[in-house]
Structure 1
Amino acid sequence: MSEHCSKDKNFISKLMKKANIIEFDNSSKIVIISDSHRGDGGYADSLRQNRNIYKAALGFYYENGYTLIELGDGDELWKNKDCLDIAYMYKDIFAILNDFNYDNRLCLVFGNHDIVKSNPEYIKRQEQLFENAGGGFGREMISLYTDVTFYESVILRYMPLKEDILAFHGHQVDFINCDLWKESRFLVRYVWRFLEGVAGFKSPTSPANNYNKGTKIDHMLEKVARREKKILICGHTHNDIFPEPDEGLYFNDGCCVFPSAVTCIELTNGEISLVKWQVEVNKDILYINKTVTGGPEKLQKYFDFARQLL
């Protein structure tokens, strides 16, 4: 479980000590996607409306040789106690994730909504649940989750400059969703999920449903990035953020549950970009299109800016 929450002023150094390290250069292709919140297919499944967009994006990145980093909250395990229904509803998605894993192009980072996946005992319990259910479905998920390590953070080491980018979910600076994650999970699972379905209420514990709360967390993470003089890439707040090279060091990949859109961050050709996948219309034909909404900018510009900070 996460030990690096908002009360710990040294949480960045601790995240880096336990991080998975991925080296990359100007020929590498990396995509960072977070907050897909794969659910059970019901009214509270936030990804349901964007399922096809999300699947198209994953398919593109697999076919084009990208390494995929899922930066937390991949599965919605606050609203759902176990993975059975998620595995059934998104078996095609997990088949693609397995393809990435077979090619050694997958890194899974946990967030607050799927923090339980960091506990090996939880994965063992899920495996037993699948066996008790007959093992006829969900094998794509369970074969993946019993074969991977779930990390709290990942260091992206840019080899031409020997500089590091730190990527983590971002809930670590959010007191309610890190220090009090069990209490927040209880409220989401047993109170706000019901109210969301019956009366349309949104959970006040979620930065994604509270603009002021999400913006406050983004500001905190930007301050941390400047203090540490390090590029940080996070999710959690669902606010896609792409600073100019002389303005900041904190990036946010957004989420997969915007209305009719999925956003993510790409690292290609030694550059960083923020991209959006969405449904568009050409006359009477619907199609899924990718557009660049931030960048591309040379990573070296951000490393140079970091070195200039006092």
Structure 2
Amino acid sequence: MKYSEFHQFFRKFLSECPEEELDPARSYVFLSDLHMGNGGSRDDLVRHRALMENSLAKWYLEQNYILVLNGDIEDSNKFPLHSIRSAWKDLLEIFGEFAKRGNLRKIVGNHDYELLVERNYPWKLYEGLVFKFGSRKIFAFHGHQASNLYVAFDFLSRFLIRWFLRPLHIRNITVSRDSRRRFRTEKRIYRAALDSGIVAIAGHTHRPLFESMSKFDHLKLLLENLLSVYVNAPEEKKEELERQILLYRREMEELARVKEKKRKTQSLYGDGPFLLPCLFNSGSATSKNGFNALEIRNGIISLVYWTEGRDNRPYILEESRESGTVDGRFFRYTLQSDALEAVFTRLELLGDFPSGADEPGE
């Protein structure tokens, strides 16, 4: 698929999704890719059952957050819906408590897309949702819309899923385990958001992104800044700077040694002289140690990390700006933060919003 085709589709998709004001007095949390299953060995969320239920019920619900579930929540692509409901009664009840307060926004992804045609589903469903920040826009959608199949056949998607894919047990194609397709998906969304002058919040690829940067990108930037400071630093400060430089170096080397070169180190640079903060991704809830989420509170957008038990990894301790705990057992770390005003200012001053032309080879 040429980028120009996706760009045309994206603008139409954006214009058709409902809008609501981002209330500056309210707090928002964005989660995606829970992949709730049947509670068995193939259910990737089981390992984080207590962590997910307690963080939602005792942190976000009690603090009156608006919960935005950004796709692939119930994995009805792999499991019958009745088995998911049976295995996750408590978590679904927590979703229901958010809904009773008017604080639930539920967006579908490719693994729960068929919920759009599910009879008597209890909550309103969206394919995408635009949050208006003054005259600016934050567009939350799952991200599978960047696939070739979806763009070409989106008018048939509901029919195919309801009457063809599910009865024949054909799985929707996923990008989370395919590094090339994951990177291609992220780059398409990045370019489309940049061309549209908006901020996009996606999921789907299972890779947390903050201001269009992966963890590797962020570490690289930190390391380059530290090296620049080190050159002219007074001798009494160089020992601490060396410690930080070695810490980030080790973390980058660890990321570069990912099994089978899955390219988690690949960045989104290449679309111009600047990497602009138009793409955020909440990651997934199926990773080994915990889950990521995006929060918006008091005009600040943050990437946070939840884990069961205190995390003693040097990188987390070095980077976390603040932490919180639920029952002394579940820990929340704020990894990165920025003011939305600053995010949009950088977009507006540094982005030229190109016309959506194709790059060579597309």
Helix, strand or coil at the partner of 1:45 = coil
Corresponding residue of 1:239: 207
Q: Deviations over 1:130-153 (max 9, x none)?
A: xxxxxxxxxxxxxxx33x221101
Report the alpha carbon displacement of residue 229 of structure 1 after superposing the two structures with TM: 1.4
Corresponding residue of 1:93: 91
Query: Contact (CA 8 Å) 2:6, 2:151: kept in 1 or not?
Result: no
Q: Deviations over 1:185-209 (max 9, x none)?
A: 959x8478xxxxxxxxxx9x42112
Asked if 1:269 corresponds to 2:269, the answer is no
Return the alpha-carbon distance in structure 2 between the equivalents of residues 175 and 286 of structure 1. 46
Return the alpha-carbon distance in structure 1 between the equivalents of residues 65 and 4 of structure 2. 32
Return the alpha-carbon distance in structure 2 between the equivalents of residues 42 and 247 of structure 1. 42
Return the alpha-carbon distance in structure 1 between the equivalents of residues 16 and 41 of structure 2. 37
Alignment counterpart, residue 154 of structure 1, candidates 129, 144, 152: 129
Corresponding residue of 2:21: 23
Q: What is the identity, as a one-letter code, of the residue corresponding to 2:109? A: G
Asked if 1:300 corresponds to 2:341, the answer is yes
Q: What is the identity, as a one-letter code, of the residue corresponding to 2:206? A: H
Corresponding residue of 2:119: 123
Return the alpha-carbon distance in structure 1 between the equivalents of residues 94 and 109 of structure 2. 21
- With over 3 angstroms needed to count, the CA separation of the structure-2 counterparts of 1:50 and 1:13, relative to structure 1, is same
Query: Contact (CA 8 Å) 1:6, 1:174: kept in 2 or not?
Result: no
Could you tell me the percent identity over the aligned residues?
A: 24
Corresponding residue of 1:9: 7
Corresponding residue of 2:182: 214
- With over 3 angstroms needed to count, the CA separation of the structure-2 counterparts of 1:56 and 1:11, relative to structure 1, is farther
Root mean square deviation, CA, Å: 2.9
Asked if 1:57 corresponds to 2:98, the answer is no
List aligned pairs for 1:281-300, cutoff 5 A: 281=310, 287-294=329-336, 296-300=337-341
Structure 1 or 2, whichever has the larger Rg, is: 2
Corresponding residue of 1:174: 147
Runs in 1 of length 4+ with deviation above 4 angstroms? 5-8, 176-183, 189-192
Aligned length: 266
Query: Contact (CA 8 Å) 2:203, 2:282: kept in 1 or not?
Result: yes
- With over 3 angstroms needed to count, the CA separation of the structure-2 counterparts of 1:39 and 1:179, relative to structure 1, is farther
Report the alpha carbon displacement of residue 304 of structure 1 after superposing the two structures with TM: 1.3
Helix, strand or coil at the partner of 1:166 = strand
TM score, norm. by length of structure 2: 0.67
Query: Contact (CA 8 Å) 1:279, 1:286: kept in 2 or not?
Result: no
List aligned pairs for 1:173-212, cutoff 5 A: 173-176=146-149, 186=165, 190=169, 205-212=173-180
Helix, strand or coil at the partner of 1:273 = strand
- With over 3 angstroms needed to count, the CA separation of the structure-2 counterparts of 1:247 and 1:6, relative to structure 1, is closer
Query: Contact (CA 8 Å) 1:39, 1:47: kept in 2 or not?
Result: yes
Q: What is the identity, as a one-letter code, of the residue corresponding to 1:304? A: T
